[in-house]
Structures are given as C-alpha cells and as structure tokens.
Amino acid sequence: MNELNLSKRLKNVVNYIPNNSKLADIGSDHAYLPCYAVLTNRCHSAIVGEITEGPYKSACATIRQSGLDGKVEARKGDGLEVLNPNEVDVITIAGMGGSLITSILDSGKEKLEGVETLVLQPNIGAHQIRYWLKDHNWSLVDEDILEEDGKIYEILVAKKSVHKNPFSSEMEKELFIGPYLIQKKNEAFFKKWKHEKQNYERILHQLESAQQTEETIQKVKEIQLKLQWIGEVL
C-alpha cells in the first residue's frame, strides 16, 4: 500500500470525505490517506497529525516523495492538539479502537470548531463512538461496514448538529448496532453479528454458571438485551 494504492478500507474512508474540503487526518501513520485524497482531488489540502517520531518522519517522507509539500503538512502532536480552531472542515481518524477515537475527540473538543464532517473508522468499539456523537451534538449521517483480509471494519460519518435527539430504547439498539448498517445489512454485517452473537452467548453461559451476585445478575440482563437486539437484526 502507498499513497497511490490505498487499501480497500482506507479508500472507503476517502469516499466519505466531502469534495473540495480541507482535511485533517489524525494518527495518519505514513500519510497515505491524506496524500491520496489530495492527489485524487478529493480535498485541496490536508494536515497530518502524528504523536510519535517514527510515524511523523514516515509521513514527512511520503509527503515529500509525493510532491505535495505546501499542500499536505505533517505536524507532531497528541490528537487534535495539532490543529487550530476553524483550520479544517473535515477530520478523519482511522485504524484505532473506538475508545481511543472518542478520547481523542473528547480531549480536543475545542479544536472541532469549524469542523463540519467527521469520518471515523474504528477497528473495534464503534458503538462507543455513536454514544459520544449523540452526547456531543453530532448527527450520524451514514455508515459502512466492510471486510478486508479477514477483518471487519466499520466507517461512521457524522455532521455537526444543533439538535439533541430524544433517547429511546430503539435508539439504544441502533447506537449499539448502527442505524444505517441495520438498513444495509451486507455480507460483512451478517458475518460480524453472527460472530458477536456467539461471543455474547459464551459470556452469558459463563455468567450464568458463576456465583449470582447483584453485579452478575445485572450483567446477565445486559447481555440478554444485546442478544435480543442481535437476534432482531439477523
């Protein structure tokens, strides 16, 4: 993979970047995604954020080799601290766990001023991001799920919202599974949730065999509810 030949996963992320935008890609590693986005005219400029020296130097090398000095800029720093408010209008964060992505967004909330679109690709824990978006007035506008090299990835696209959505039991199910993914239900979706169903059934069996404390009973109820949701979408 390089800046001219992205993985299927990262190409799908780029497809959700609005045209003619200024991009910030956080945790970019080799800067392949932002360089590809600029080279294919998806966005006119990009900022690359990296926290460690090795990936930062790799990003600088890719930018230089791609002839994108002046259009793509690498910055070293933690999460969104590499940005100034109103500096970019779209942020991508790909290839991390959902808890880390929410931590990056939460720690840099003031840097989200002027950002219109978030394109987030968690490797695990997508539901954690959906909860964060809901709690911080971001509206989920699209989702995708795909398989590549035996692994399943989700992509979440969000726009800034001024309205708070009322919370309901149906919304809780959608935040757990993904409202747009429930509608699309492609092959990767079924593969993921069949696997998750097996995992939760195994956990439920272990909990039911354990000593029945108040905590255990509560966990059993939570797992049973999740299994009910999964059963409804499969």
119 closest CA partner among 149, 153, 151, 150: 153
In a domain, 109, yes or no: yes
Same domain, 88 and 124: yes
pTM, rounded to two decimals: 0.93
Ordered per-residue pLDDT tens for the chain, 234 residues: 655 678 999 999 999 999 999 999 999 878 999 999 999 999 999 999 999 999 999 999 999 999 999 999 999 999 999 999 999 999 999 999 999 999 999 999 999 999 999 999 999 999 999 999 999 999 999 999 999 999 999 999 999 886 666 556 678 999 999 999 999 999 999 999 999 999 999 999 998 888 888 888 899 999 999 999 999 999
In a domain, 177, yes or no: no
Domain, as residue range, for 229 = 188-233
**What's the structural domain count of the chain?**
2
In a domain, 182, yes or no: no
Domain boundary among the residues 166, 201, 223 is at: 166
Same domain, 192 and 162: no
Same domain, 79 and 153: yes
Specify the residue for token string 């993985």. Answer: 7
Amino acid letter, residue 204: L
- Here the CATH number for the domain that contains residue 106 is 3.40.50.150
Domain boundary among the residues 119, 135, 166 is at: 166
In a domain, 180, yes or no: no
In a domain, 178, yes or no: no
221 alpha-carbon distance from chain centroid: 28
10 closest CA partner among 101, 95, 118: 95
Dihedral (Cα; 171, 127, 221, 197), 10-degree rounding: 110
| DSSP sequence for the chain | -BTTB--HHHHHHHHTSPTTEEEEEET-TTTHHHHHHHHTTSEEEEEEEESSHHHHHHHHHHHHHTT-TTTEEEEESSGGGG--TTS-SEEEEEEE-HHHHHHHHHHTGGGGTT--EEEEEESS-HHHHHHHHHHTTEEEEEEEEEEETTEEEEEEEEEE-S-PPPP-HHHHHHHHH-HHHHHH--HHHHHHHHHHHHHHHHHHHHHHHS---HHHHHHHHHHHHHHHHHHHH-
Residue 16 three-state SS: coil
Same domain, 65 and 95: yes
Same domain, 84 and 14: yes
In a domain, 118, yes or no: yes
Dist CA 153 CA 207 (whole Å): 28
Same domain, 21 and 58: yes
